[in-house]
Structure 1
Amino acid sequence: MAARAALCAAGLALSLYALHVERAHARDPRYRAACDLAPAVSCSRVFASRWGRGFGLLEGLVGRDSVLNQPNSVYGAAFYLLQGLLGPVRGRAAAAALALSSALAAAASLYLAAVLLFGLGDFCLVCAATYGLNGLLLRLNLRRWRRLRAPP
């Protein structure tokens, strides 16, 4: 339980920092975030890219100005809040929701990592940290799900 709380707190903090960086960069394109270490290691460049909102997919489906086309960090914050709130809840339904949402987050992480590597040619420290957190939460949630499914 403490591990989940720590992972969710770290993920929420990173998501809120990413949202701050994106908004500061939108106000001032010369803004330099702490995670902007070099031309090819720049989180603000990644967050400002088309893949920084709606995973680069929603704009084409729902439009640029749709309420659904939010920064990825907003989806991340919602995910970490969900994980944190459902974590203490007992039962199979909560375990299934945790495992399913973690699997989706891990899939999104793999997709966005591929975009970073092959599309943008950039490295984002904040992104990489959240991908790691998502992997750890997936592991934690799958272990919980397996324990609930195991015969007594």
Structure 2
Amino acid sequence: MTKLLNDALVFFSLFGLGLSFYSYIIELSVEMDENYVASCDFSEHMSCTKAFKSEYGKGFGILGRLLGNDSVFNLPNSLYGILFYSFLATVGFSDSTFTTTIALGATVLSNCASVYFASILIFILKDLCVVCVTIYVINFINLILVYIKLGRLRQEEKLKQN
């Protein structure tokens, strides 16, 4: 059963990684050509570009305010997503309780970020970003997978001790 969990975790992490790369490509394309229209822009209120270009599209909308817009940490959120999903995909190749515990903490934080960004989309930007919503769903699925995996690993450790 742990192999199935690992495979699912790698699959959804790679899906999130792909969406993060796609988001980054859109951001670069918009920076080079302000008339660029992404394939995920369906209307004025259903646009991923609107979300990515907003003040919340870099540094979580927080780091620029705290550290300055020129800070090395005020990067597009998609780059943080690339790092996060790369880490999470590697967790699918490890059956370490320690690594999986760290992954659980990271997935909890990613789901908190999903709620934060969903609130911004709905209440501030009044936008529906299909890429963003898909990432929120992936984050939730990964949370469930990592939680179940950690439970199984702890169970296996107890059995080995007895």
Matching of residue 77 in structure 1 with residue 82 in structure 2: yes
Shift of 1:27: 1.4
Q: Does 1:59 align with 2:59?
A: no
Which has the higher Rg, Structure 1 or Structure 2? 2
Q: TM-score, normalised by structure 1?
A: 0.96
Q: Which amino acid aligns with 1:111?
A: Y
Q: Which residue of 1 aligns with 2:109?
A: 104
Q: Is the 8 A contact 2:13 2:89 kept in 1?
A: yes
Correspondence for 1:147: 152
Amino acid at match of 1:74: L
Gap runs ≥5 in structure 1:
none
1:40 to 37, 40, 45: 45
**2: distance between equivalents of 1:95 and 1:46?**
31
Q: What is the CA RMSD across the aligned residues, in angstroms?
A: 1.0
Check whether the contact 2:95–2:153 (CA below 8 A) recurs between aligned residues: no
Q: Any idea what SS the aligned residue of 2:139 has?
A: helix
Contact 2:104 2:143 (C-alpha < 8 Å) held by counterparts? yes
1:49 counterpart = 2:63:
no
Higher RCO structure, 1 or 2 (CA under 8 Å, sep 6+): 2
Please give the alpha-carbon distance, in whole angstroms, between the structure 2 residues aligned to 1:68 and 1:15.
Answer: 17
- 4+ residue runs of structure 1 moved beyond 6 angstroms? none
| Count of residues paired in the alignment | 152
Report the TM-score, using the length of structure 2 for normalisation: 0.90
Higher deviation after alignment, 117-126 or 86-95: 86-95
Among 123, 135, 141, which residue is 2:140 paired with? Answer: 135
Post-superposition Cα deviations, 1:52-90, rounded to whole Å, max 9, x if no partner, equal: 001101001111011101101001110100001122112
What CA distance in whole angstroms lies between the structure 2 residues aligned with 1:20 and 1:88?
Answer: 28
Match of 2:27 in 1: 22
The runs of 5 or more residues in structure 2 that have no matched partner are 1-5
Looking at structure 1, the residues matched to 153 and 132 of structure 2 have their Cα atoms a distance apart, in angstroms, of 31
Q: Tell me which amino acid in the other structure corresponds to 2:40.
A: C
